[in-house]
Amino acid sequence: MKKFSNASNKINVIMSVFENDEKLDGKEVSKRIKKLGYAVDEGNLKMFIYYHMQYQYLMKEKSQGVNKYFAV
C-alpha cells in the first residue's frame, strides 16, 4: 500500500475518485482510494476533507444524517 507524499498529492487523489456530479459519503471515498492502492483511514480522511478541502474543492450536504461530499 502506498502512502501520500504531501497534502497536494492527497487532494489530487481525493478529487480523482469523484466523477461527474456524484455525491459520496466518507466511507465510499475511502473505499475508492483504497482501490487505488493507498493506505487511508476513514476518520483521518474525513478530518482532512474538513480542514483542507471543504468549500475550496468539495462541498458537503447532509442527507439522512450522513454527510455527502461533491466536487465544486
pLDDT tens sequence across 4-19: 889 999 999 999 999 9
CATH of domain 7-71: 1.10.10
Domain ranges, ordered by start, for the chain:
7-71
- pLDDT value for 1: 82
pLDDT band for position 20 (cuts 50, 70, 90): confident
Are 67 and 29 in contact by the 8 Å Cβ rule? The answer is no
With a cut of 90, say whether residue 27 has pLDDT above it.
yes
* Cross-strand partners of 66: 63
Average predicted confidence (pLDDT) for the chain: 93
3-state secondary structure the chain: CECCCCHHHHHHHHHHCCCCCCCEEHHHHHHHHHHCCECCCHHHHHHHHHHHHECCCEEEEEECCEEEEEEC
